[in-house]
Amino acid sequence: MKKLFLNFSYANGLLSGNISTILDFIRGLSAILVLMEHLSSRLFVGYGNVENPTFFIKFLYRN
Could you list the pLDDT tens digit for every one of the 63 residues in the chain? 455 555 666 666 666 667 778 888 999 999 999 999 899 888 888 878 888 889 998 888 875
Helix axes 2-15, 18-43, angle to 10 degrees: 70
Amino acid 55: pLDDT: 92
Amino acid 29: pLDDT: 96
**Do residues 36 and 43 lie in contact, with contact meaning Cβ atoms separated by under 8 Å?**
no
- CA distance linking residue 37 with residue 48, whole number of Å: 18
Amino acid 3: pLDDT: 55
- CA distance linking residue 10 with residue 32, whole number of Å: 30
Amino acid 47: pLDDT: 79
pTM over 0.85: no
Q: Angle at the Cα of 45 (from 38 to 40), degrees rounded to 5?
A: 20
